Structure 1
């Protein structure tokens, strides 16, 4: 898959293409259903399939106080988009210069001249151009003017039609600690990616050495608690783990941390390594214990429960 971070990186003469536009945060099942269908349609027409997405999220520019936490970082989003079979992704830097384009300027520069779109795939609620002045009727009108068709995608909902799959819903579930529910919408376990840094090394003293994730890790950190999950290394190892999120109230901690104990392993040296954490199920909320002995006993219980969950 081609990965571009600027329109100027698109090769001259690229296309024709079928293009869709969106943030695709999390690349959940709703996104994937649309993208895989678009890829198939593009291949049948002898065209290239392209997704245009943005970094940072537009709301970080327009309403930073209301910007949503991102489910996935750009690197993981690109990997997930690539898995749908797309030919190319343009990660457009979302700047004031970009945002101030009129709807027609955006369509002409990006879709017509840059990507040579023959079809543009959008939802009914599509908005684009300065102050979101462009909508579906605008896109249809510009398509007729510039010679591309517009395919309207309906919202993808749960099988019972109760609610549409959305990044907003995934965020709600993760912030409530329901990682299993989020995985049903994502079609995979939620993930965090970051570098292992030194912590207090208290877990090692208690017999549960943990890998502490850097505070700038990519991905939305779920609610405080203990989770069953997986720790993956660049080497390809995927190891079962109990993952703790919180401030460690038993020891009067004041900083929120994400740390993972690889089940049954006390020999791992992961400092400085980049790791990927995947969350399978929440085992319990964060608790404050009256004694270290109570904490250790509960940690043994957490590890046993995590083994059961992951073995299933």
Structure 2
């Protein structure tokens, strides 16, 4: 997949294209339906392009209302690449982009840069200065400028009678329900970042952990212990598949010792005591929650619980 970061980066002969536009936060099941529809529409020879943003537009427009993102920009690019599309245009959402009128957005990005033949959006799509553009405005511009607009219906959970959305997934992760969140995402939820030095307490207790930097990408689920996987990406950009290890994952501030100021994500790779991951970029995937985070009365009680946690993690992973 080609990644463009500015419309000017797109070659003049790139089009025609079928374009799917959205925030794509999480690249969840609903987003994947939109992208799969774009691939079908492009079967006659057009390229499939996702147009998205480097941040939630609310981070600039209404920061007090902006929710935490499910994924970061690096994760978004990787997940979009896995859908099989041809290219992603990752726009920097700044004042200049926010000030474009709906017509300017369409003419400069969809028509001039991408040669859009078909544009797919969700029903709640808004674009242009002040959010003044909607699917109806996009259709009017498409009729004038030569592209078709398809509004793709929401994907809904029949059991919950609720549309699949980043908001719902964020709620589930906030409750620690990573299993249900994973079903809506179509994959295990994950965070991605660099392994850094910690207090080395896990090693002292017999469970050495890979501690992720607090400057990580991805929404951190509720405090607790989880079964999951640690993937050592290997390459500096994090886009090359790496080695996958089964892991017991801890999220929280270590209440037994009460000496960690910020929430941490740390992963104990099962049966590995000499694994050196310092400085590596890794992905930590959350498969199932084992328990909440509690303070124990002494080291022996903590170690005993950790042994039980590891046994349960083994039973939960394939």
**TM bucket, shorter chain:** over 0.9
Question: What whole-Å deviation, never above 9, does each CA across 1:82-106 have from its counterpart, x for those lacking one?
Answer: 1212111100000101100111111
Which residue, 276, 295, 298 being the options, matches 1:269? Answer: 276
Which runs of structure 2 are paired with 1:272-291 in the superposition (5 Å)?
272-291=279-298
Structure 1 residue 234, shift from structure 2 partner: 2.6
What do the CA deviations read for 1:243-294 (whole angstroms, capped 9, x no partner)?
0011111101233211111112111111111111000001000000111111
Per-residue CA distance 1:204-259 (angstroms, 9 max, x = gap): 11111111100001111111000001011135221111000111111012332111
Tell me the matched-pair count.
310
- Equivalent residue for 2:56? 57
Matches of 1:278 and 1:124, distance apart in 2? 31
Q: Which residue of 275, 280, 298 corresponds with 2:305?
A: 298
Counterpart in the other structure of 2:128: 129
In the other structure, the counterpart of 1:97 is 96
Pair 1:243–1:103, CA change in 2 (3 A): same
DSSP 3-state at the match of 1:108? helix
Q: How far apart, CA to CA, are the structure 1 residues paired with 2:233 and 2:112?
A: 39
Aligned residue for 1:249, secondary structure, equals: coil
CA distance in 1, matches of 2:20, 2:160: 24
Tell me if 1:179 matches 2:215. Answer: no
User: For each residue in 1:54-97, what CA deviation from the matched residue of structure 2 results, as whole angstroms up to 9, or x when unmatched?
Assistant: 01210100111221111111112111111212111100000101
1:1-312 equivalences in 2 (<5 Å): 1-43=1-43, 45-160=44-159, 162-235=161-234, 236-253=242-259, 254-311=261-318
Taking the aligned partners of 1:49 and 1:107, their CA distance within structure 2 comes to 17
Equivalent residue of 2:97, what SS?
helix
SS of residue matched to 1:251: coil
Task: Check conservation: 2:34, 2:121, Cα contact below 8 A.
Answer: no
SS at match of 2:60: helix
Unaligned 5+ runs, structure 1? none
